[in-house]
Structure formats: C-alpha cells, structure tokens
Amino acid sequence: MTAGLERLKKGKRLASLAGYLGRGISWLRQHQDGIKALFFGTRSSYGLVFTVLLYALLVAIGFVYLYPLLFMLVTSLKSPADLLNPMVQWVPTELYTGNYVKALRVLSYQRTLLSSILVSVAPSIVQAAVCSLVGYGLARYRFWGKRLLFALILATFIIPPQNTVIPQMLTYRRLGLLGNILCLVLPASMGQGFRSAIFILIFYQTFLSLPRVLEEAARLDGASDPMVFLRIAVPAAVPSYIVSFIFSVVWYWNETYLTVTFLEGGIQTLPMQLSRFVQAYENLYPPGMVNIFDRINEAVKLSGTFLNILPLLVMYLLLQKWFVESVERTGIAGE
C-alpha cells in the first residue's frame, strides 16, 4: 500500500516536471527570435555576447597600457622606507615627493622642457604645413613622373634613418648647422622630416576625397590656385592637420638617435637628459658623499621617466576631443 502511494506521488511529480518542461520549451519557441537578438544582436544593435567580449578585450588592452603608467606613478611616490618594505606594493604609506625634487634637479627640468618643446613643436608645425602642400599637389595636379615621385616619397619611410644619418651629418657640419634647431626644421621644410611620408599620404587621401565641385565653383568665382587651397582645401583638412601635428610632436619628442647626432652640444632635450640620468645623478650625489637614502634608486629613475612623458600626457588630455574626432573624420570618404 505504501509502495503504491510512493509510486503515485513520484508519477505526479514527474508529470508536473514534464508539464513545466513542456511549457518552458513552448515559451522558448515563442520567444526564440527575441532571445537570439538578446545574445547575438540584430542588424542595428550588438548582442550580449559581443558586448561582453568587446568590453573584456577593452579592459585587457587598457590594463596592458595603464599598468606600466600606474606602476611608474606609484613607485615614484614611494619613500626609501616603502621601497625597502616588501609589504608596501600599490599604496604607499606616505606621498613622498623627494624623488621628484631630485629628478627635477638632475634633469634641469625647466631648461630642458623648453628646449624639448622647441625641438618638437617647431619642426612639427613646418612639417604639417609642407606635407599638406605636397599631398595637395599629388592629389590635384597631373604631371610627368607623378607616380614615380609618389613611390620615392613612400620609400623614404621604408629606408632606415641610420642609412642616411652620416651624409646628413656631414652636410650639416659643412654648413655649420650642427647643434642648431635648423638641422630639424630644414628637412621638415623640404618634406623630409621624421616620417613625413606618412603625413603626405594622410593629406593625399584627404584631398583626394575632397569633392572637386567645390574647387571648380571657387575657380568660376575667380579664385586662384593658392586661394582655392587656403579657402577650400585647408578648412576641409583640419582633422588631418591635427592628427599630423600630434603624431609629429610625439615622434620628434621621443626621437633620441637623430637629435643626439644633430643637436649634441647645442640643445639638450628631456629624452637626451634622461638617457644620461644615472651619470648626471651620480655627479650631483656622489656615492661617497651622501647617505644611503640619497643614493639613486628605482623610484628616482621612474620619477625622471614620468617627468619625461608628462608633457605628452598633458598634451593628449588637452587635445583628446579634437584628436579622436580628427581620427574618425580622416577615415570618411567624400565624393
């Protein structure tokens, strides 16, 4: 009797479970399109799977880029006691600024910062202006040898600068320009600055996508070629100017091989000072003349490195909005 009741109850439970399962399957069949759209998206929206993968990828990339900066900043703010304490990792016991005081003195920061700004900004302005002219000429005019000239311009990006540095140095020495900012400005004024081929290509694509009807309408109104370039082409290429200027400043700022070769003995920049940081620090703080806490350590080195990249970070933060918009707009094709 008891066994029969148990079998009856078990049968009722199985029937109830089967009923729930059947209703669940029916609901899934009725809403399968909505569930598919939720997880895999539609033509107008991303699905949950793609969104999760996208954000996971962005977090991973952000971690790769931000981790060195965070480690550099935190370590540079550690006191000597925190550096010797293995328990102190990411949160210093105090915000110690003595490392930056020493790094500012070793780098001669105020003088070298002004020199670095001059060395990076002046050639970048000239380079952006000249590359826009070259790109406009290649995009709008037909002449003999145009394709060959364009190929040679792009080849200058492929050829390593180490192959041409000796002839350039000998030429500048013969002209008496070694140690002068003109060593960087003159090549930029001829369209041969640092990675000028990339900027010429950017402007070439920008002007190639510019509708010709605008220029033809301006010429019908009596505008000359220089006026067409200044009034029509330049305003339309503002995003390209911003992108070219920012990248050019960064590359001129970070370049040490050519600047050391051409400017050594004349102008000192922050990257040049940073490459001699250990030697300059030991000259200011001789090992036998100072206590152990004034000896060079990892925190002082990272303070100097952070001070070296700080102007670039500030520039990017100030120009971030225009930079992002410019990158997006440079990829838009015209008529």
176 located within any domain:
yes
Q: CB 166: neighbour CB atoms within 10 A?
A: 10
81 located within any domain:
no
Q: Which domain CATH number covers 137?
A: 1.10.3720.10
15 located within any domain:
no
Structure-token match 């094709």, residue found: 333
22 located within any domain:
no
194 located within any domain:
yes
pLDDT for the residue numbered 24: 58
pLDDT for the residue numbered 332: 42
pLDDT for the residue numbered 16: 61
State how many domains the chain has. Answer: 1
With CA atoms as reference, report the closest residue to 280 among 106, 57, 116: 106
pLDDT for the residue numbered 330: 53
175 located within any domain:
yes
pLDDT for the residue numbered 288: 57
89 located within any domain:
no
CA distance 277 to 304: 8
Q: CB 303: neighbour CB atoms within 10 A?
A: 27
CA 236 to chain centre: 23
- This prediction's pTM: 0.73
Dihedrals phi, psi of 111, to nearest 5 degrees:
-70, -45
For residue 223, give its domain range: 108-275
Q: Is 321 helix (H, G, I), strand (E, B) or coil?
A: helix
The half-sphere exposure of 55 on its side-chain side, counting CA atoms within 13 A, is: 6
Two tokens, residue 282: 């030991």
Q: Are 248 and 160 in contact (CB under 8 A)?
A: no
Report CA dihedral (107, 121, 163, 260) to the nearest 10 degrees: -20
- The list of the chain residues with pLDDT below 70 reads 1-47, 265, 284-296, 323-335
258 located within any domain:
yes
